[in-house]
Structure 1
């Protein structure tokens, strides 16, 4: 993971230009990802109902298995990206890549050679070394070419110590990121025995710690080839339960242990395709696995793309327009600096010294927790790989107090549909099942509450498609009023919000850790370009003032603030056409 915000400018350059000469070494695997193959050649797996698959995932994904993978990877010592070229068969990234490749091939032999093992090679300059690097992946071909898009689960296999370019230190990288790599291997082990309509790619990236090189190469290659990637699940720090002495915001409390929750980070506002994917992962787990799980997990959908100043391999895919999320443990041990906690240091071992007395007294990884995270991933992959076709489109509007009317366009005529409703939160508030394309549904709350609506199709086995992009449903003009306010420091005309048709809605989340969204609703058809958002501290100090555009419908503006654990109060004010629209209060936590 990257550790400082100032690196992001360099990262952006690398994402665009850092890799060249990308090559997939297995032409058959490449053809499958392009959708140019005969599915009949790969249909010898088990065909089972989605419910049967989910139940098996919950039972078959093994803590002992992920433990064996983690320990094997840690045994290679430093997997810094430039150790790829070591001649050793027992240490370094080169040896680790060879072992992973052999594991995939062994697994393929058990699956009638249905798992196609390959490498991607790419040229890059990493730590002043210009070479051709490689990463290992395996492709499980789908049985249906109606939709040629494929699905990726990934984790980076490289590790680092305090100096990200040091190739001689001993950095086993247990938590970051032998855990994510083990998760990918375990999902491949269990999923590869089944037939799925969609192709699944199991990817172990390299060069993550120096600038997301491997994932950027894969994303750039896929985009340049016109490949359709349905979704990407990135796993980076997947097994940590103990919060260390420091962590990147939104931080955990030092010494806290979290064994039953994970976080999903993703780019954009709560209406982005990435947040929609996060909600899909959570829905599938909550409905398929959670009711029967020995220890149910809570999935927390986070507001930002990653923690403050950090990044991971979901970013290059997102930058190419693919839906991508980062799955990460609820707690972490370190802030990426290498000087506090174990992440990015030689201390990232399975056993750790929590009080610096020279004696190991705890573990960096809970393998049962890691296995539970693998179940969450595998279940989402299995359900999405059913390739349920989403509706073409839908419309939604108010018809009465607490009621919405929808019209769904779907040439496939699915047996039923799921309708997801959300207010100003990252989570869906309600998910309905209907059997008509023109449903009228009720929802909790009053008519002044903003609702976001999305729709998915459901097949005969009860599996959802991915949900369509959300629509915001606005209250008819005049139904609500948000009173305007005025302060002594402003020389603006007071105006009722309804005179311009703009309402200032509550920000979300509130209180917030490091980022929140200011929300406006414009009920008119006027596009306001001369509008401003001003954010002040409680003493009147201006923290930020920016020009904004206000389009018809719902408008969201992100505000980021590093509060360093302090509780602070802010006031945000909206002006349009030299008129004050409204002011609201928000707080950090």
Structure 2
């Protein structure tokens, strides 16, 4: 007699549209009834070649190397060459510099440091250091995309800076994704700039990410998308069920940075599901939920999990579109735990033996497909508006033409107000205004840009223009 399904099994299978748990073959990557969105973009030959270079063995080596530093707690020792967060910091910089060395000068690697004065979970002034690699764009370098993981770790007591804190899943797995992306992209020429970031201070309060986001904001950086990879190391839940071909993407609706005037507009048009971050999440589904990544992207319509937070939040708070990748179901015995074996023989602790390095490699492919397509495609259209100066049963959209030299035109997308994804696409041509013979009161519209290579931008959701 087969065992009864657990509640998680039922819920996961339902969310996946009937996808069976276990290890499906490549032919099962698109299960029955799973149709790509109308806005989906098939992977290019260039992208498929890039994805093939992502190496699970290198990812495993990165995770194990980070674990070897004993603890990477933000408050741990910074001047020991073998143990503590300082040793991890120096190794990360060395790795990123080795990738930059083959980039022909396009990639630079650096430390981004500041002294955090006493604050919650930081009892004394502490230097917090992010390790960054920047791959400068060749065509539109002013447009920036950021991908991050946090290299600090913790155990049960968030203030314990001396006990072994392996942090394999949380979050050496995310840092391994970032390093592997930097490695495979270093020798390539993205049109726009990509920043690869290993940040510190996450477990103490998102300090490193907040500093990076603030520095970008102060510099006036045009960050059009940010992704954090946090706890992406395993597809096994705490009850043993497996979902190895799904990754969650948390994407907020109502923007964290929304002003009262922006809130009034959102309420008037019903735009709760159409923030820039939700459009970014739809873009991820368009370009990374396919046979090339062998992954299903399960978009979750909230900023993060209950009682949790991540390094995308400081970016959201500063008005940047940002989202979080996290494994499909967490095992809480293997995160934020002292390394120990209890009286029943159960092993606790965030150890590398509980990571699935093939799964992390597939998560890296989802990130790579997203970032590379974003960097090669046009930027999100600016100035998108729906003209509301007169009451009519048609819809006229206007927008500002982009400055990309390879821009070829625009598309209008639409969907029913109750639909989660765009369902219709109209070729508008190389214009900055377009009229559709449908009422703006009954459907949602958006605008996206197209370049000569056929790559599409994320969708811009229009505000009303009186």
Which bracket does the TM-score occupy, shorter chain normalised? 0.7 to 0.9
Q: What does 1:228-377 correspond to in 2, within 5 Å?
A: 228-244=222-238, 254-267=239-252, 268=254, 269-286=272-289, 290-293=290-293, 296-334=294-332, 341-347=333-339, 356-357=345-346, 363-377=353-367
Unaligned 5+ residue runs, structure 2? 1-42, 255-271
Correspondence for 2:96? 104
Distance 1:392 1:225, change over 3 A: closer
Task: Determine helix, strand or coil for the equivalent of 1:112.
Answer: coil
Answer with 1 or 2: which has the greater Rg: 1
1:167 CA displacement? 1.4
1:261 CA displacement? 0.9
Contact 1:77 1:92 (8 Å CA) reproduced:
yes
Distance 1:440 1:73, change over 3 A: same
1:123 CA displacement? 1.3
Distance 1:238 1:440, change over 3 A: same
Correspondence for 1:383? 373
Inter-partner Cα distance in structure 1 for 2:441 and 2:241: 36
Inter-partner Cα distance in structure 2 for 1:95 and 1:386: 35
1:132 maps to 2:127: yes
Q: What does 1:456-535 correspond to in 2, within 5 Å?
A: 456-470=448-462
Distance 1:135 1:415, change over 3 A: closer
Contact 2:213 2:314 (8 Å CA) reproduced:
yes
Inter-partner Cα distance in structure 2 for 1:78 and 1:362: 14
Inter-partner Cα distance in structure 1 for 2:455 and 2:300: 25
Correspondence for 2:35? none
1:148 aligned residue (117, 122, 142): 142
Inter-partner Cα distance in structure 2 for 1:137 and 1:240: 25
1:131 CA displacement? 2.5
1:99 CA displacement? 0.5
Distance 1:92 1:432, change over 3 A: same
1:75 maps to 2:68: yes
Q: Which runs of 4+ in 1 moved over 6 A?
A: 352-355, 359-362, 438-443
Looking at secondary structure, tell me which structure has more strand per residue. 1
Inter-partner Cα distance in structure 2 for 1:176 and 1:156: 8
Task: Determine helix, strand or coil for the equivalent of 2:162.
Answer: coil
1:460 CA displacement? 1.1
The structure showing larger relative contact order (alpha-carbon pairs under 8 Å, at least 6 residues apart) is 2
Contact 2:233 2:355 (8 Å CA) reproduced:
yes
Equivalent pairs counted in the alignment come to 393
Correspondence for 2:196? 202
Contact 1:150 1:229 (8 Å CA) reproduced:
yes
What's the TM-score, normalizing by structure 2?
0.76
Distance 1:471 1:409, change over 3 A: closer
Inter-partner Cα distance in structure 2 for 1:242 and 1:105: 34
Task: Determine helix, strand or coil for the equivalent of 2:306.
Answer: coil
1:412 CA displacement? 5.3
Contact 1:80 1:158 (8 Å CA) reproduced:
yes
Unaligned 5+ residue runs, structure 1? 1-49, 245-253, 335-340, 473-524, 526-589
Alpha-carbon displacement from aligned partner over 1:496-530 (angstroms, at most 9, x marks no partner) = xxxxxxxxxxxxxxxxxxxxxxxxxxxxx9xxxxx
Alpha-carbon displacement from aligned partner over 1:434-489 (angstroms, at most 9, x marks no partner) = 1435667799xxx99953221101111111123212569xxxxxxxxxxxxxxxxx
Correspondence for 2:153? 159
Distance 1:464 1:127, change over 3 A: same
Alpha-carbon displacement from aligned partner over 1:393-426 (angstroms, at most 9, x marks no partner) = 455599xxxx975544453595343433344568
1:235 CA displacement? 0.7
What's the TM-score, normalizing by structure 1?
0.61
Inter-partner Cα distance in structure 1 for 2:352 and 2:213: 38
1:275 CA displacement? 1.1
